Amino acid sequence: MALREIRTYPDEILNKISKPVTEMKPRFSELIDDMLETMYSSGGVGLAAVQVGVLRRIVVIDVSPEADSPMVLINPEIIEMDGTQTGDEGCLSVPGKHGIVTRAMTCKVKCLNRDMEEVILEGEGLLARCFQHEIDHLDGKMYVDKVEGELENVYQEDFDEEDLED
Ligand SMILES: [Zn+2]
């Protein structure tokens, strides 16, 4: 495993649309391992392949407090959303910033797992927010375009472990 460089806004690759994965090649498996390592070492709760410069529809997420429950989503598609939540959001590709974004409160996703088996994942609250944020990345969309009000700076003294940095 290796750390990969995180592309940061306004790198134009972040606005590109990622391609589906049709078979689990060794280089994608290695990419997934690297994405997990990169996400954990950056203290994030989610990372899309485009954020490390690979235009493939692969997302890794871990919203567990112990950071020990990795999820791998390949070719994810949102199939159901319900309710709304308004809260703070950040992104490893926009370091030092955060802003308020309204998202669906619950979100159901159809995707493939690492073994390329179809699975349905259901999220609520932070996990639902994360699904929506990461799947937006696969379509070249950034949360900064959805922020209500101003994008704000994160100050070290305000740092809260619950701040979402995905
Ligand atoms: Zn992001």
Mean pLDDT of 104-132: 98
User: Which of the four pLDDT bands, split at 50, 70 and 90, describes residue 18?
Assistant: very high
For residue 134, give the nearest of 60, 36, 34 by alpha carbon. 60
Active site residue 134: yes
pTM of the model: 0.92
How far apart are the CA of 135 and the centre of ligand 1, in A?
9
What domains are there in the chain, each with its CATH number?
A: 12-158 (3.90.45.10)
The DSSP call for residue 118 is E
How far apart are the CA of 91 and the centre of ligand 1, in A?
4
> Structure tokens of 21?
């994965």
Active-site entry in 89, 117, 134, 148 = 134
Return the higher-pLDDT residue of 79 and 160: 79
Euclidean distance between CA atoms 51 and 161, whole angstroms: 22
pLDDT 10s digits, 77-111: 999 999 999 999 999 999 999 999 999 999 999 99
Mean pLDDT of 41-69: 97
How far apart are the CA of 93 and the centre of ligand 1, in A?
6
pLDDT value, residue 6: 98
